[in-house]
């Protein structure tokens, strides 16, 4: 018999509310659908209604919130399919962009569905259909109704790449025993860094189930790209000094553009490749570029790079593998704005030196290791960013940093191995009824 779980009055109240929340959740989904944030054709999936039959044989359920988390799973899913040919991997995500990203990237042994909203009847409908033999959640996914219902059915639960934002950490601490009760339902928790491990332990995770394994994103395969587009864009920027500002957020584009203007006197042929985190902000960012007196070509509108183009605005989705390959130096956004930083291993694996701001708590160990390896440079201001661009763009320096970044990421396969071992243990062990 499994050990008794920690009790939580707040959790019991949540589950009672969840069992009756279908009407409210449906209206919320309708509003999101009207705003283009849901796929209308697949809306029933968000209510637990499957759009595909369950294949015969063993099935493991992987849940990833959005694009970044889903991308981190791809290499592991590929290797898992090779190791277990009869296994089906059901991958769920919660955003339209993640579904688009996975559409032509999932290995053959995988299916995609939108995740059900955490409404108890919808979760039960989902689990009744798919009947997973194990469930694996990524990063910070702790949906109470989903976890409790899966655990009640004896489905082994694993949390991988675990991390928690400072805001979520404070919120869960206020909820007292609810976090401890939910964490107790995971049989294994693999934290992505020491800070995440400490925070999860403080919330009540059992030290016997908690391991700091590193970030699965280190072991991910290099991002895909279109070779014809790479050759085309390389020709377009031939003879120029090109740097990339990737996954930028509001407030960061102004700093990036200011740094670009400051760096140009030292590098008159300097060009900026600007990729906002959310492509829907393309027109807004283009207006910021023009307000600085710079010329901009907008990729979403098919505008070509010309001799007069100062900034190429890549307001598209799923092309980061292309941009990291053609840019010798990349500033990674979400780090000057207090967002928590974005994945530094993607550029590191593709030969790009890395610049980053101080707000990188989501990947703090990774950035620290890259900085210590002389593969990344911390910048705090517009002036520091401009100076770093000028200092790192010379070919010998950029190549030196890129080689150091690749070497620092070579340990990532060990993280994937650790996750695969944990997944295999869950699949091979008899389920508890």
Closest CA to 73 of 317, 406, 420: 420
**Could you give the CA distance from residue 12 to residue 344 in angstroms, rounded to a whole number?**
40
Residue 224 to residue 151: CA distance in whole angstroms: 36
Region class of 426: left (phi > 0), else alpha (psi between -120 and 50), else beta? alpha
Catalytic site residue from 38, 45, 69, 346: 69
HSE value, Cβ hemisphere, 13 Å, CA-based, for 371: 14
Task: List the structure tokens of 164.
Answer: 């928690």
* Helix/strand/coil (H/E/C) assignment for every residue in 222-266: CCCCCHHHHHHHHHHCCCCEEEEEEEECCCHHHHHHHHHHHHCCC
Task: Kindly tell me the sign of the dihedral angle through the C-alpha atoms of 351, 355, 360, 365.
Answer: positive
- 247 φ/ψ angles, rounded to the nearest 5 degrees: 55, 50
Cβ-Cβ contacts under 8 Å for 424 (sequence gap 6 or more): 83
Which has the closest alpha carbon to 145: 109, 118, 113? 118
Closest to 117 measured CA to CA, from 179, 44, 61: 44
Strand partners, 230: none
Query: For residue 411, what are its two tokens?
Result: 């340990």
Bridge partners for 298 per DSSP = 313
**Cα torsion angle, 192, 194, 200, 201, sign:** positive
Residues 6+ apart with CB under 8 A from 83: 420, 424
> Among this protein's residues, is 141 annotated catalytic?
no
Residues with catalytic function? 69
């Amino acid at each position: 018999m499994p050990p008794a779980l920690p009790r939580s009055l707040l959790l019991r109240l949540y589950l009672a509310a969840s069992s009756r929340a279908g009407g409210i959740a449906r209206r919320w989904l309708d509003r999101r659908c009207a705003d283009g944030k849901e796929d209308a054709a697949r809306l029933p999936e968000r209510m637990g209604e499957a759009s595909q039959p369950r294949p015969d044989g063993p099935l493991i359920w992987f849940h990833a919130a959005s694009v970044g988390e889903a991308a981190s799973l791809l290499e592991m899913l590929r290797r898992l399919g090779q190791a277990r040919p009869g296994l089906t991997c059901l991958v769920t995500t919660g955003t339209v962009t993640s579904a688009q990203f996975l559409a032509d990237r999932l290995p053959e042994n995988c299916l995609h569905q939108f995740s059900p909203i955490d409404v108890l009847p919808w979760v039960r409908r989902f689990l009744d259909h798919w009947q997973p033999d194990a469930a694996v959640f990524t990063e910070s996914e702790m949906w109470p109704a989903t976890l409790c219902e899966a655990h009640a059915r004896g489905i082994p639960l694993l949390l991988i790449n675990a991390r928690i934002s400072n805001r979520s950490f404070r919120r869960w601490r206020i909820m007292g025993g609810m976090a401890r009760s939910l964490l107790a339902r995971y049989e294994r928790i693999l934290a992505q860094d020491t800070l995440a491990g400490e925070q999860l332990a403080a919330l009540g995770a059992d030290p016997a189930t908690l391991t700091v394994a590193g970030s699965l994103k280190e072991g991910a395969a290099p991002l895909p790209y279109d070779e014809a587009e790479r050759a085309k864009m390389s020709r377009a920027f031939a003879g120029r000094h090109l740097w990339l500002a990737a996954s930028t957020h509001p407030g960061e584009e102004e700093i990036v553009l200011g740094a670009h203007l400051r760096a140009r006197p030292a590098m008159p042929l300097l060009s900026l490749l600007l990729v906002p985190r959310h492509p829907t902000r393309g027109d807004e960012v283009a207006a910021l570029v023009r307000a600085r007196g710079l010329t901009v070509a907008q990729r979403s509108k098919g505008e070509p790079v010309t001799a007069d183009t100062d900034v190429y605005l890549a307001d598209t989705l799923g092309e980061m593998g292309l941009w990291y390959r053609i840019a010798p130096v990349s500033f990674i956004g979400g780090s000057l704005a207090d967002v928590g930083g974005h994945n530094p291993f993607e550029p590191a694996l593709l030969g790009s030196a890395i610049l980053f701001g101080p707000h990188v708590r989501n990947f703090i160990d990774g950035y620290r290791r890259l900085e210590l390896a002389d593969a990344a440079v911390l910048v705090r201001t517009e002036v520091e960013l401009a100076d770093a661009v000028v200092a790192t763009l010379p070919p010998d320096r950029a190549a030196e940093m890129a080689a150091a970044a690749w070497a620092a990421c070579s340990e990532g396969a060990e993280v994937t191995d650790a996750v695969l071992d944990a997944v295999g243990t869950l699949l091979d062990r008899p389920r508890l009824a």
